[in-house]
Every structure is written in C-alpha cells, then in structure tokens.
C-alpha cells in the first residue's frame, strides 16, 4: 500500500512539473499577441489560431524527440556499449548546456521587442505561415528549449512505465498550448476581453524585463547541466 502511495505521489509531482514546464516551454508574448491579433482581425480566426498552436506543438515535439534520443538509456539501445553511450550523451548535454549559457547572455542583452499594431497578422495570413511562425518561434526559443530539455529528462525516466510516459507526455504537450486555448475560448465567449488582454500584454512587455529572468535562468540551468555531466563522466 505504501509503495502504491509513493508511486502515486511521484506521478502527481511529475504531472505538476510537466504543467509548469509545459507553460514555460510554450511561453512567448509575441505568439500570444499574434494569437490575439488573429482573433481580432480574421474571419478565419479559429482555424488560424489552431494553425499557430499546431506550429508550437510541432516545435516542442521535435525538441522533445531530440533531447530524449540523447538520453543514456535510449542511446544504449542504439550503441552496443554503455561507455560509448555515456560519452555521446555527456558530450551532447555539455553542448546543450553551453548553448543555454551563451543564449542566456545573448537573451539578456537582446533589445526588447516592440510589438506594434502593424506586426499583428492580417486577415490574409495563411495557415502555413502561422504554423511556420509557431514552429520556429518555439523551436529557437531559449525558454522553450530549456523547459523541454528538463521535461524530456523527467519523461525519459518514466519510459519503463508506458502509462506514466504517455500521461506525462500528454500533460506536457497540452500545457504548452494551454494559454493559446484560453485565448481561443475567450475569443468565442467574450471578444472584448481579447482586446483588453492585448493591451495588458503590451503594457507588461514594456513594464517588466522578463528577458532578464529567462536569460539568468538559462545561464544557471546551462551551468548546472555542464557541471552535472562533467561529474558524471569523471565518476563513471
């Protein structure tokens, strides 16, 4: 009984982690404003908004596959040597950690975005254009890559239990697009709130330096990844 309770508690904790990491992975004020812009300017708003969400999901899925593939246990199924698999995994993770550190410093010093009305999509926006926008914005996002890397490690650890693996994967992917779904539902029920939300988002982008928070977090996480993998290689 105690073993079952412990397993259930671990699963619940992992699910909560997936929710938080999923929201961070899909976080993009630019895409949120784009979603709102589509909702207020296009007669095909619902289909276009869904296209943007599909692009975000594709970016996250590709990152997840990439990060999970280079986990040690996964590599061992392709490389017939624990030492070689460990070496490849450590090298890859150190590269990723270094990239997070470099991108963190770049992100901190990057000029803040200015989202004007002209940057919002028009009624002529195509489905593929929004899918591409969602995909590339997410795939190259430092917050998206960092959160997906952490989530991939947790999901990979649950690989031995297919039910847990499926649940964690589904929760993570759903959480990445949860804010977009909220915008979609709000658009249908109360369009005026969409406009208020757009004004609020613009005000927050000017008021708070969220780039500093994301940049520092990426530097700290990247440094921790580098140190952890170096210690793992030395102690093996």
Percent of the chain with pLDDT over 70: 90
Distance separating alpha carbons of residues 100 and 149, to the nearest angstrom? 10
pLDDT one-digit tens code per residue, 121-143: 444 568 888 999 999 999 989 98
| 3-class DSSP string for 184-206 | HHHHHHCHHHHHHHHHHHHHHHH
Token pair belonging to 12:
């619940």
> Is residue 199 over pLDDT 90?
no
Angle at 185 between CA 113 and CA 141, to 5 degrees: 30
Could you tell me which residues come within 8 angstroms of residue 38 by beta carbon, excluding any fewer than 6 positions away? Answer: 45, 48, 49, 52, 120, 121, 125, 130
- Mean pLDDT lowest for which of 16-25, 111-120, 211-220? 111-120
Stated as kind and residue range, the H or E segment containing 42 is: none
| CB burial string 73-101: b at 16+ within 10 A, e below | ebbeeebeeeeebbbbbbebbbebbebbb
User: DSSP character for 119?
Assistant: G
pLDDT one-digit tens code per residue, 98-113: 999 999 999 888 765 5
Instruction: Write down the pLDDT at residue 112.
Output: 59
Distance separating alpha carbons of residues 121 and 49, to the nearest angstrom? 11
> Is residue 41 over pLDDT 80?
no
Distance separating alpha carbons of residues 205 and 209, to the nearest angstrom? 7
Distance separating alpha carbons of residues 236 and 83, to the nearest angstrom? 9
pLDDT band for 45, please (50, 70, 90 cuts). Answer: confident
Token pair belonging to 201:
């988002």
Mean pLDDT (whole number) for 47-72: 92
What is each CA distance from 164 to 8, 13, 15, 23, 215, in whole angstroms?
10, 12, 9, 20, 32
Strongest mean pLDDT among 2-6, 205-209, 226-230: 226-230
Mean pLDDT (whole number) for 40-58: 85
pLDDT band for 90, please (50, 70, 90 cuts). Answer: very high
pLDDT one-digit tens code per residue, 136-194: 999 989 989 999 999 999 998 887 788 889 999 999 999 999 999 988 888 777 777 77
Q: The whole model's pTM is what?
A: 0.84
- Mean pLDDT lowest for which of 14-23, 25-34, 125-134, 207-216? 207-216
Instruction: Write down the pLDDT at residue 96.
Output: 95
Distance separating alpha carbons of residues 39 and 33, to the nearest angstrom? 10
Instruction: Write down the pLDDT at residue 99.
Output: 94
Nearest 5°: phi and psi at 44?
Answer: -105, 35
Percent of the chain with pLDDT over 90: 42
């Amino acid at each position: 009984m105690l073993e079952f309770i412990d397993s259930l508690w671990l699963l619940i904790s992992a699910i909560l982690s997936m929710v938080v990491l999923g929201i961070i992975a899909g976080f993009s004020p630019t895409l949120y404003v784009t979603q709102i812009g589509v909702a207020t300017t296009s007669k095909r708003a619902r289909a276009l908004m869904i296209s943007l969400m599909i692009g975000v999901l594709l970016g996250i899925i590709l990152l997840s596959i990439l990060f999970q593939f280079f986990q040690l246990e996964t590599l061992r199924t392709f490389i017939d040597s624990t030492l070689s698999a460990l070496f490849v995994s450590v090298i890859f993770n150190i590269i990723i950690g270094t990239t997070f550190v470099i991108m963190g410093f770049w992100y901190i010093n990057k000029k803040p975005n200015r989202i004007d009305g002209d940057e919002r999509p028009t009624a002529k926006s195509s489905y593929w254009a929004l899918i591409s926008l969602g995909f590339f914005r997410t795939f190259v996002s430092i917050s998206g890559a960092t959160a997906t890397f952490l989530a991939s490690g947790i999901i990979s650890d649950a690989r031995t239990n297919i039910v847990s693996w499926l649940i964690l994967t589904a929760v993570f992917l759903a959480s990445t697009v949860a804010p977009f779904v909220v915008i979609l539902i709000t658009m249908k029920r109360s369009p005026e709130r969409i406009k208020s939300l757009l004004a609020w988002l613009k005000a927050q982008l000017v008021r708070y330096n969220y780039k500093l928070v994301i940049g520092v977090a990426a530097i700290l996480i990247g440094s921790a990844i580098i140190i952890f993998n170096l210690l793992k290689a030395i102690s093996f």
